[in-house]
Structure 1
Amino acid sequence: MNKRKTIIDVAKECGLSQATVARVLNGQQDIQVKEKTRKRVMSAAQKIGYRRNTLAVNFRRQQSNTIAISIPDITNPFFPELIKGVQEKMRDEGYSVIQLNNEWNPDIEQDHFQYMAQTFVDGAIISPSHSGTDFSTLEGIPFVLLTNSDLYSKYDTVGNNSKAGMRIALEHLYSLGHRKIALLVGGSMRSGPSWRYDLFSEFYREKGLTFPANFLVACDYSVNSTLSFLQARKSMEIFLNENPLPTAFFTSNDILGLAALQVANEKGIKVPEQLSIIGMDGIFSGEVSYPALSTVKKNRSEIGGISAQILLDKIKKPKDWSTKKVLLPCKLIERGSTGPV
């Protein structure tokens, strides 16, 4: 096995001092090196197969041109497009992206924060695993949170206006004549009392309707997408076996919506003739389901790009930083799973 080439080897090859070679190969700007000398060093390095030890350089400089993105569920189709938005922006600025998945586990999340601190990442974009996430380990590391929760008021946050998005979905169903709308929730992080339940109850009151208690169908929170789908299927089966059929379901994400749609199809319930279903997120799977799932689309790629830009600004100009709060609108996508009563 060939020994890794070092600066010493390059210096011997080009006949220059190790200090001069190090200045060229490490890109030091404090002392000028003649262009002829620089080309001589680079030619020798290429000839002998020298490769720069980036980790060692990063350790000395305590910077890495790397940022980390921490997510709770790598199986959730919500995240790939968001991460793509982060990567595109960071790549344009010369940064690499490390992706960390904590599986909704606070202990793993803290291990990842330790890793960020120990490897000198220049910054982080974080989707918190739970409402009590401790960020103290990241002291000195710029970070941006992917959330719309009021619980993180002192941090930089980027998210979608999910409350307004849910309202759009409910108003859409109401405009189609639906007065018996049920709510299926679960899967994502629970941040205190269910604002979805509160908004749902408020909607019923505003319309002069009575909200039946059994029209709230809840699955576990903070679980991966596969388990969330299976739990939603089971909850829907129980609900449909034990209760009169509502005219519509709003589901808090598309994974739950697809589960509800699948169970309805298996039971011979015609969608949307007998039951309308609308989800939230706008994942690709909803486009190819049968019927295609109506949804309230979130701007996942835009969230990624904006959070990356805020992080870059924070890295470059940390002094006198003012907290940034970005809340993006949602958009109704009407497909085949919703229709008039």
Structure 2
Amino acid sequence: MKKKSQVAAPAKGASPAPADKKPQMPLRRPTQRDIAAATGLSQTAVSLVLRHGDVPAVSADARARILKAAQRLGYVPNRIAQNLQATRSHTLACIVPDITNPTYPAMVRGFQAVSQAAGYDVMIFDTDAQPERERQALNWLLQGHVDGVLASFFHIAEAELAGLVRRGTALVLIGRPARKTSTQIDRLYVDNAGAARAMTQALIAKKHRHIAMISHPLGPGAERCRGYRSAMKDAGLRTIDIPADGFVQDAGMRAMAEFLAQRPLCSAVFAANDLLAIGAMAAIRAVGLRIPQDIAVAGFDDIPAAALMYPALTTVHRSEPAMGRMAADMLIAQLDAHGAERPGRSIELPYQLVMRDSA
């Protein structure tokens, strides 16, 4: 005969636990990571919206999704944790003048590869090379959204960046070398004047004597024109300037069409970037002239489309991905130094003439 199992009686005075209820676990407090997972957006974007509201780096649609998810999940900011983490955002920014120009996405990809491998998120700000957009970007940076920034400014003077330096934001600028070594701003640059001079000399060596240059005065345009003029002067040749209203393909086409309408004496055209050169090639063909038999064409940057043109575009090559990778390394090195004062570095990157069929 089996024995009945015995259950110990509850202690005297104790209330027996209901048999149909299980112990309740406390609910976990929703976090920004939960909102990011619910919306499919980055945790950086979530943090920016919840801490700063309407920011230019996050679209209105994404902002609405974040706020809706925060309300649905019952998110309440942890102010203590925010204050503890306020010294670092673990985010870097890349400020570019035209994200549609193929040189800049190539640079951003190199920058992002190194930054993300080091645990940093990357945010991109396109200024369209407009003064007001550059100042908007600068004001946004001064609010402390990022730890460091790689920037190509066309209108912001270095003196205006002093506020960023004071607040400890790491900086790398794309452009000319620093005039003063005391600044803590690092720079990466290609010798634009030297490269343009070398390309002009290469065209002169091919017996061209009437060489025009299409350029825009902002950004690298002035330095590239300076190199062109230097080579032409040394050869005893007259410069021919073709002003463009931008650095895009349409600007090159318009400028070249207006120039050709004057029936000028010109055997070669050197453009300040490849997009201008491609636009010029279209204008040359539109009036029935041949490249390079009637007019040779050369550009600057060696964007991927340059080798695919017919005829393939002669140009100046510089490695944008390498520039982006080096810029990220420089920013991270500044941040790892924890604000130690040091002179800024100016590093010159190499260029190479790529002689193709268009010249």
State the TM-score, normalized to the length of structure 2. Answer: 0.72
Matched, 1:166 2:165: no
State the 1:162 CA deviation. Answer: 1.3
- Out of 214, 221, 232, the residue aligned to residue 184 of structure 1 is 214
The question of 1:314 aligning with 2:331 is answered: no
Instruction: Call closer, same or farther: CA 1:120–1:239 in 2, change over 3 Å.
Output: closer
Q: 1:34 corresponds to which residue?
A: none
The Cα of 1:107 is off from its aligned counterpart by 2.6
Deviation (angstroms), 1:131: 5.0
Q: 2:229 aligns with which of 201, 208, 211?
A: 201
Q: How much does 1:5 deviate?
A: 3.9
What residue number does 1:211 align with?
238
Task: Give the distance between the partners of 1:251 and 1:280, measured in 2 at CA.
Answer: 7
**Distance in 1 separating the partners of 2:174 and 2:274:** 19
Asked if the contact 2:99–2:126 (Cα under 8 Å) also holds between the matched residues in 1, the reply is yes
SS at match of 1:144: strand
Q: Cα 1:188–1:198, aligned 2, differ >3 Å: closer, same or farther? A: closer
How far, CA to CA, are the matches of 1:246 and 1:6 in structure 2?
72
- Counterpart CA distance in 1 for 2:205 and 2:170 is 45
Opposite residue 6 of structure 1, the aligned amino acid is R
The one-letter code of the counterpart of 1:336 is: D
Q: Which runs of 5+ in 1 are unaligned?
A: 9-48
1:240 to 235, 252, 260: 260
Kindly report which structure 2 residues correspond to 1:98-113, keeping only aligned pairs within 5 A, or say none: 98-113=123-138
- Aligned residue for 1:73, secondary structure, equals coil
Matched residues in 1 for 2:201 and 2:242: separation?
Answer: 20
Amino acid in structure 2 at the alignment position of 1:289: M
Q: CA deviation at 1:256?
A: 0.6
Shift of 1:112: 2.3
Question: Structure 1, residues 240-298: CA drift from partner, whole Å, max 9, x if none?
Answer: 12133411111110011001111111212111111110000011121222211111011
User: Counterpart of 1:84?
Assistant: 109
Q: Which amino acid is the alignment partner of residue 337 of structure 1?
A: S
- Please give the alpha-carbon distance, in whole angstroms, between the structure 1 residues aligned to 2:223 and 2:154: 18
List 4+ stretches of structure 1 deviating above 6 A.
53-56
- The structure-2 alpha-carbon separation of the partners of 1:72 and 1:201, relative to structure 1 and needing over 3 Å to count, comes to closer
Provide the residue aligned with 1:42 in structure 2.
Answer: none
Find out whether 1:266 has 2:289 as its counterpart: no
Range moving further from structure 2, 255-264 or 178-187: 178-187
- Asked if structure 2 preserves the Cα contact closer than 8 Å seen for 1:159 and 1:326, the reply is yes
Residue identity over aligned pairs, in percent, reads 23
Residues 59, 113 of structure 1: alpha-carbon distance in 2 compared, 3 angstrom cutoff: farther
Listed as ranges, the gaps of 5+ residues in structure 2 are 1-26, 32-72
What residue in structure 1 maps to residue 344 of structure 2?
Answer: 323
Q: In the alignment, which of 148, 162, 173 is matched to residue 145 of structure 1?
A: 173
Query: Cα–Cα, structure 1 residues 251 and 149, in superposed 2: closer, same or farther, change >3 Å?
Result: farther
Kindly name which structure, 1 or 2, has the bigger radius of gyration based on alpha carbons: 2
Deviations 1:47-76 (A, max 9, x none): xx9x9x899855532211111111121221
What is the CA–CA distance in structure 2 between the aligned matches of 1:257 and 1:148, rounded to whole Å? 23
Report the Cα offset of residue 113 of structure 1.
2.7
Larger displacement relative to structure 2 (254-263 or 172-181): 172-181
**Helix, strand or coil at the partner of 1:242:** coil
After superposing the two structures, state which structure 1 stretch, 195-204 or 250-259, moved more: 195-204
Distance 1:244 1:136, change over 3 A: same
Match of 2:119 among 57, 79, 94: 94
Query: 1:21 matched to which residue of 2?
Result: none
Task: Give CA deviations for 1:169-207 in whole Å, capped at 9, x if unaligned.
Answer: 11221221212111111174278xx34444333212222
